[in-house]
Chains A and B, each alone.
Chain A
Amino acid sequence: MTDNVAIHTQGLTKHYGKVEALVDLDLDIVPGEIFGFLGPNGAGKTTTIRTLMDEIRPTAGTATIVGLDTHQDSVEIRKHIGYIPGDLAMYPNLTGRDTLTYFSNLRGGVDWEYVDALADRLEADLSKKIGDLSTGNRQKVGIIQAFMNKPQVYMMDEPSAGLDPLVQREFQGMMKEAVADGATIFLSSHTLSEVQRVADRVGIIRSGHLVTVEGVQQLRSKAIRRVDLYFDGAPDASLFEPIDGVREVEVRNHHVSLSFDGQMEELLRVATNSQSLTLTDINSQEADLEEIFLTYYREEV
């Protein structure tokens, strides 16, 4: 089965002493997929990526990338990987171009025309020293570094950190093009709008446990939605709070805003049955990833 799986983990577990940073992670990510990996700070996202990169070794379980064992065959695997570590650090005394040259020499060369094209797209200045670059500009060099070998698998830990919205958009385009060519992207991110825009599936991790893995569309369709109700008077929040599936009720004057994943019928019944108030308008929209994310995190805290 590994033939058709770009990244595969089985019971992948990492403990730091008594701290369970990652517990029993089972994942299969197929070629041509962008897999969004979400979780709050300290949930185990970076631990997962560092384990896959063989920077740290699993306490239990195994993982393969392009069918090769992440520990035994790590050197071979790295020929096929582009990596952006979280909290990217590079050599401050080298220019961007020196840095890329250094890494390309370790890989037996790169296509410099492609590198320059990438630099143009991201508006990266490769002639400046890394130490003199701002966070975002440094990140651009990191991104070029990951893309320049046209790898099969991209491992990216918060790759958009510090990028301005225009460059973020360009970067998202680069990711989409890469998967269109058959590559696989493992994207750990806090930028939920970005994940929503590019990812095919997302995995949500909490306290080292994978909570769910689902397609972005499925997740959004079955997830809670935002409902806005407008009345001719000021309603009381306590009216809506007892309803099954209602969360985060906010009342501002005549406007009630709430998250809802229950039966719409029940909500409407309560909204229209009040004797003192009349429902004047209703607006419901599909939930975005941020809300889904927050829901998963609020549960079982």
Chain B
Amino acid sequence: MYANVFTKTMLDRWKPPLIAAVSLGVLMVFGMAVYRGIDVSFWDDLPEAFRSVFGIPEGADVGGLAYGAIYSGYGMLTMAAVALAGGAVSIAGEEKNGTVGLLLDNPVSRTSMALSKAAALFAVTAMAFAVLWLAGITAPLMLDVEIGTMDVNALVLMMFVNALFYGFFAFALSGWTGKSALAAGVSAGVMVVSFIAVGLLPLIDEVAGLAEFFPWYYFSSGDPMLNGISWGDFAILAVGAVTFLVLGVVGVNRRDLRSQSVGTKMIDRLRANPMTHKAAEMLAGTARVSKIWIKTASEHQALLYVIVPVLFLMSVMIGPMYTMMDDTLKSLGDQFPETLLSLFGGGDMSTPEGFYQIEMFGLTIPISILVVTVVIGTAALAGEEKRNTMGLLLANPVRRSTIVLQKTLTMILYAVIVGLAAFLGVAAGSLLGGLGMDMGNIAAACALATLLGLAFGALALALGAATGRTQIASYGAVGAAVVMFIINGFLPLNDSTAAWAKVSPFYYYLSSDPLLTGMHWGHAAVLAGLFLILLVLAIVFFRRRDLRQTG
């Protein structure tokens, strides 16, 4: 291990985890303050399965709601995502930047380098969880809230080991392949799928046991908040993390280091082959670069290949699943207090619309669209500046505003495609399950989700336009989305703060119950207006600013 490699990696990587931890800590205090003001006697009536999705322990009081909702739900997803982002760039990031050769020019073995990077990943993650732990134990003291026998230490420790599991999973992929995007994508995919599977599978008796095959199970099923640490689960996650660490180190030792070479793709082979040359050339060559928006679309097509089929299949699956679900489970939904429902997107389990709202429209659909729009919004201006290609692009007779508008066109196109995939999936799911949901209403909800995603994509675009920094654009937009999502979920729980939910764009997405009532044109106009305002701001900022030069 090398102290300076460790230190440099720490210095490069401490910000995202710490910012995430501080934000979550603040949200926790905020959430606990909101819960303190409301009657939570309904809590014990919640169905087990429903709680399992969000990891809220049985018998929790006021404090438990905040820990469960903020920490073990979104908090865990956020922290695991930050850890895996760090793991993905550990080794492959240096290869992508072309700095790994220089680093290994020094008398540093690959093993030592990889171990130093792993130690830094462990340390920044530990640091972030120390902040979460501190916020977790001081919040009830600050707010004078009784948390009874709840075990914050156990919860935070299990969260920590779970985050390490995904962080080192990405680390292993990063070390083994040298491809940071692949490492981040695959590990994030595994995380999301396993989070959803562990939430959904227990709802159906026949497949409930399958949940054990998904790693998230070993974090959430033991209810560490309530039952303390299950050392068996802890060991499984810890052994997994260590195994991945070893795999990463072995992986980077056994392969050729990657140069900045871009590799050969299927389309390149087709172009090289005389038989298919002409067709491939039309597709990949001249057509691909004919317009700025088309080139932008071509750059981001991989996003669609992943998101569209997964989102479509999940949306279809929910329909038949609802028909198979236990009736008693459905009837429990009637007992949900109105206030709590808003936290989960206002769904009511006793109707197919409500079930779809909880499982798909509450989180999965908006996140899918948001990922696409924020990635495109970030890459559009800040990304092109980061790669130092903006100067060359702007050496051509095109206006800066044209570039913003063309790239926005791609963003709109992609958001609509994902929104359409959701619509087709839900519509097919409703038909397959014989649920008889209204097609127009499904379309309305998907349209609102698309507009919501576009608003946050435009935020990423505007932040990138104003600063030219990809980190500010992406973390800013994602951070705003998380905060706004939680504001929309929490503020309605308390009468005195309920009106403030309207500051959140998420309010204009589902508060009108579009799956039941159809399109709310006023809300659509608010979201579209927000998108347009941010787009105009992006143009204004970008036209005024000096282009950045990196490197």
Contacts and interface: CB of A to CB of B under 8 A. Distances in A.
Contacts of A142: 392
Contact of B546 (A55, A105, A145): A55
Contacts of A83: 391-392, 395
Nearest to A101: B289
B546 A56 contact: yes
B395 A105 contact: no
B290 A105 contact: yes
B392 A89 contact: yes
Contacts of B546: 55-57
Contacts of B398: 75, 78, 106
A105 B262 CA distance: 24
Interface in A68-102: 75-76, 78-79, 81, 83, 85, 87-95, 97-99, 101-102
B391 A85 contact: yes
B230 to A, nearest CB: 47
Contact of B262 (A56, A132, A145): A132
Given A75-B397, A89-B387, A106 B262 contact: no
Given A89-B392, A131-B262, A56 B397 contact: no
A132 B261 contact: yes
B551 A87 contact: yes
B286 A55 contact: no
B3 interface: no
B289 A98 contact: yes
A246 interface: no
A102 to B, nearest CB: 4
Contacts of A81: 395
Interface in B76-90: none
Interface in B369-419: 387-399
Contacts of A231: none
B397 A76 contact: yes
Contacts of A106: 292, 393, 396-398
Residue of A55, A75, A95 with most chain B CB atoms under a 10 A cut-off: A55
A185 to B, nearest CB: 15
A55 B392 contact: no
B299 interface: yes
Given A97-B285, A106-B292, A92 B260 contact: yes
A50 B285 contact: no
Given A50-B549, A106-B292, A89 B389 contact: yes
A169 interface: no
B295 interface: yes
A129 B268 contact: yes
B234 to A, nearest CB: 43
Contacts of B523: none
A85 B260 contact: no
B268 A75 contact: no
B291 interface: yes
Contacts of B388: 85, 87, 89
B95 to A, nearest CB: 13
A107 B289 contact: no
Contacts of B110: none
A105 B289 contact: yes
B153 to A, nearest CB: 47
Contacts of A79: 397
B33 to A, nearest CB: 41
Interface string B10-28: 0000000000000000000
Contacts of A50: 391, 547, 549
Interface in B257-287: 260-262, 268, 285-286
A89 B390 CA distance: 9
B51 interface: no
A145 B387 CA distance: 18
> For the side of the interface on A, what is the size category?
35 or more
Given A94-B289, A131-B262, A107 B392 contact: no
Which of B261, B389, B391, B395 has the most chain A CB atoms closer than 10 A to its own CB? Answer: B395
Interface in A169-228: none
B391 A53 contact: yes
Interface in B23-59: none
B179 interface: no
A182 to B, nearest CB: 20
Which of B268, B292, B394 has the most CB atoms of chain A within a 10 A radius of its CB? B394
Given A89-B387, A92-B262, A78 B396 contact: yes
Interface string A46-77: 10001001111100000000000000000110
Contact of B285 (A53, A85, A88, A98): A98
A93 B262 contact: yes
Contacts of A103: 392, 396
B260 A131 contact: yes
Contacts of A129: 262, 268
Contacts of A91: 387, 389
A272 to B, nearest CB: 54
Contacts of B520: none
A225 B221 CA distance: 84
Contacts of A92: 260, 262
A44 to B, nearest CB: 13
B288 interface: yes
Nearest to A88: B392
Contacts of A93: 262, 299
A107 B393 CA distance: 11
Contacts of B291: 105
A133 to B, nearest CB: 9
A75 B399 contact: yes
Interface in A253-291: none
Contacts of A90: 389, 392
Contacts of B392: 83, 85, 88-90, 103, 142, 145
B394 A55 contact: yes
Among B290, B387, B397, find the residue whose CB has the most chain A CB atoms closer than 10 A.
B397
A188 to B, nearest CB: 14
Contact of B397 (A55, A78, A94, A97): A78
Contacts of A78: 394-398
A57 B400 CA distance: 14
A98 B282 CA distance: 11
Name the 9 nearest CB pairs between A and B, nearest first.
Answer: A131-B262, A102-B289, A89-B388, A56-B546, A83-B395, A106-B396, A55-B547, A78-B397, A79-B397
7 contacts: A46-B549, A50-B549, A55-B549, A93-B299, A95-B285, A101-B285, A107-B396
Interface of B: 260-262, 268, 285-286, 288-292, 295, 299, 387-399, 544, 546-547, 549, 551
Given A132-B262, A142-B392, 19 more contacts: A54-B394, A55-B394, A55-B547, A55-B549, A56-B546, A78-B397, A85-B388, A87-B388, A89-B392, A90-B392, A95-B285, A97-B285, A98-B288, A99-B289, A105-B289, A107-B396, A130-B262, A131-B260, A145-B392
Interface of A: 46, 50, 53-57, 75-76, 78-79, 81, 83, 85, 87-95, 97-99, 101-103, 105-107, 129-132, 142, 145
